[in-house]
Amino acid sequence: MEPGVGGIVNKHWLAALACCIIVIAASTASAQSPELLDFGPGKPVPPGDPVMGKYMFTAVCWACHNADLSGFKGPPLTGPSFYKIWQGRQASALAGLIRGTMPKDDPGMSERAARDLVAYIVTYANNPESLKADRAGQ
């Protein structure tokens, strides 16, 4: 059986469909990149509300992690040792750790609160100067 015009057209449609699938897969992968923790100026912030995270941090977390996230009774949430542990890991892993273990005296905060804290921590790491002006009014 010889391929006719229909066989050639079907091959072109199949190739076009394959290209569409590749483009969709690539765009989905790039859309997920903020889910990986990445620290430094201009790096993406994972989903969550950093302003709400800051309020939560200021109300609860600062006592153990210090106002500048440098650590006190608890480990630092910024700086080289923190980045070495968390760089490239899933934001959901850090949120899960926070949600399941913090605060030490009453663990079990909501998933949203944990995501907001992660967004605040990453925002602080990626542009701490943006938050210092905010502290001046406190």
Q: Are 99 and 91 a contacting pair, CB within 8 Å? A: no
Tell which wins on pLDDT, 72 or 134: 72
The structural domains of the chain, with segments of one domain joined by +, span: 5-31, 35-136
pLDDT (0 to 100) of residue 16: 56
| Nearest of 53, 37, 62, 64 to residue 109 by alpha carbon | 53
pTM of the predicted model as reported, rounded to 2 decimal places: 0.70
Omega into 103 within 30° of 0, i.e. cis? yes
- For residue 75, is pLDDT > 70? yes
Instruction: Give the CATH fold of the 35-136 domain.
Output: Cytochrome Bc1 Complex; Chain D, domain 2 (1.10.760)
pLDDT (0 to 100) of residue 13: 57
Q: How far is CA 45 from CA 39, 118, 135, in A?
A: 9, 9, 20
pLDDT (0 to 100) of residue 15: 57
Tell which wins on pLDDT, 27 or 113: 113
**Predicted confidence (pLDDT) per residue in 92-134, tens digit:** 999 999 999 999 999 999 999 999 999 999 999 998 676 665 5
Phi, then psi, of 17 in degrees rounded to 5? -65, -45
The CA distance from 45 to 119, in Å, is: 6
Query: Given pLDDT bands bounded at 50, 70 and 90, which one contains residue 42?
Result: confident
